[in-house]
Copies of this chain bind each other. A is one copy, B any other.
Amino acid sequence: MGPNLLEIKQVDTPQQGPADVLIRVEACAVCSSDLSMMARPWKAQPPYGSFIPGHEYAGTVVALGETVDEFKVGDRVAVEAHLGCMRCRNCRLGHYTACLNYGKKGHRANGFTTNGGYAQYVINHVNTVYLIPDSVGFDEASLITNLGCVLYGFETTGGYIVGDHVAVIGPGPLGLISVEVAKALCAGRVYLVGTRASRLQVGEALGADRIIDATKEDPVQVILEETRGIGADLVIESSGGNEGPQMAIAMAKRMGKILLLGFPDEPVRADFSLLGKDNKHIYTVRGEGWANCGRAVSLLASGKVNLRPLVTHSFPLDSISDALKTFKERIGGAVKVVVKPTAN
């Protein structure tokens, strides 16, 4: 891996530590952060050439550390990326995705600061591994960090939304999953805002009650009109666009909540006066915290959320560059693209 370059190399199979699990990777999904890390190294990212990215993966347990009795060889498992140092104050209090020793003192974020899942074998601490039932396929399971991230977002904003009106901005993977989760948690009306008709239709199929094509309607106006001038109880901004934060602020109700799953790379303008006068709050998430990947497995197993429609393409490991390109350029309507390191 180098700047905008991925190489396939033969490396030694990693050795699990006493509390680790060695996993044969069956599927590893492409995330936009993979592309970002290839373009410019992230904080605590190992040097190009010595580092295997990929943090959304699932596979089969092939070896266990000496203290591990939570799993057995042959178990089908999904993972979460973040271990945390389990030593700083944030980790100690359960906020391990916001570890204060990021990249140090035993902290691991597989695919970010330690080797990840674009490989045949990967090591995970037992903390970060979840058994999946036979009904959940590896492709779907590789998206568990996505679902875990969205669930962490809902939990961060309270998590109890029965009857609440939810607006989702941006029909990317996290936005589409947000629609599904909002419906699963018994939201009232779910709005989905986007600019591409095809993606909005995917959202409608996944349960959105009202899709708003921002190229044709004013999303803020639509939501205010359809909520009798009140606005949405919860707004989830996942577009990452420059207009996202301000649109989210504008469409939230008085005392409403805004959750940022995406954000612009650069500073953008926002009207904090409107935020403040109407007593709205902005929440963020880092990764898939508070063990929500475990909750995600349960949700997939129950069938209440279905991630299979999001996996539109898959490639073998030696075509990883095609996989990244397909994802990046949304070739063939790509939503999530999966790499299969051990497929034969």
* Residues in chain A within 8 A of chain B (CB atoms): 19, 67, 86-87, 89-90, 92-100, 102, 105-106, 126-127, 151, 154-156, 158-160, 162-164, 184-186, 188, 230, 245-246, 253-255, 260, 262-273, 275-286, 289-292, 294-299, 302, 304
Say which residue of B163, B185, B279 sits within 8 Å of A186 (CB atoms). Answer: B185
CA distance A275 to B254 in the complex (A): 22
Say which residue of B158, B265, B269 sits within 8 Å of A273 (CB atoms). Answer: B265
A230 and B100 contacting across the interface, CB-CB below 8 Å: yes
Residues of B within 8 A of A86 (CB): 86, 127
A298 and B162 contacting across the interface, CB-CB below 8 Å: yes
A279 and B245 contacting across the interface, CB-CB below 8 Å: no
B263 and A272 contacting across the interface, CB-CB below 8 Å: yes
CA distance A92 to B280 in the complex (A): 18
Residues of B within 8 A of A254 (CB): 90, 95, 98-100, 102, 286
CA distance A253 to B90 in the complex (A): 10
A246 and B267 contacting across the interface, CB-CB below 8 Å: yes
Give the residue name and chain of the B residue nearest to A248 (CB). Answer: B272
Contact (A282, B275) CB under 8 Å given A93-B94, A291-B93: yes
CA distance A90 to B102 in the complex (A): 22
What are the 4 closest A-B residue pairs judged by CB atoms, nearest first? Answer: A159-B160, A94-B94, A163-B298, A279-B286
CA distance A275 to B92 in the complex (A): 22
Contact (A163, B96) CB under 8 Å given A276-B285, A279-B284: no
Give the residue name and chain of the B residue nearest to A253 (CB). Answer: B100
B279 and A281 contacting across the interface, CB-CB below 8 Å: no
Interchain Cβ contacts under 8 Å between A and B, 14 examples:
A100-B230, A162-B295, A163-B296, A163-B298, A163-B299, A184-B186, A186-B304, A262-B276, A263-B276, A267-B272, A270-B272, A277-B286, A279-B289, A282-B282
Residues of B within 8 A of A94 (CB): 92-95
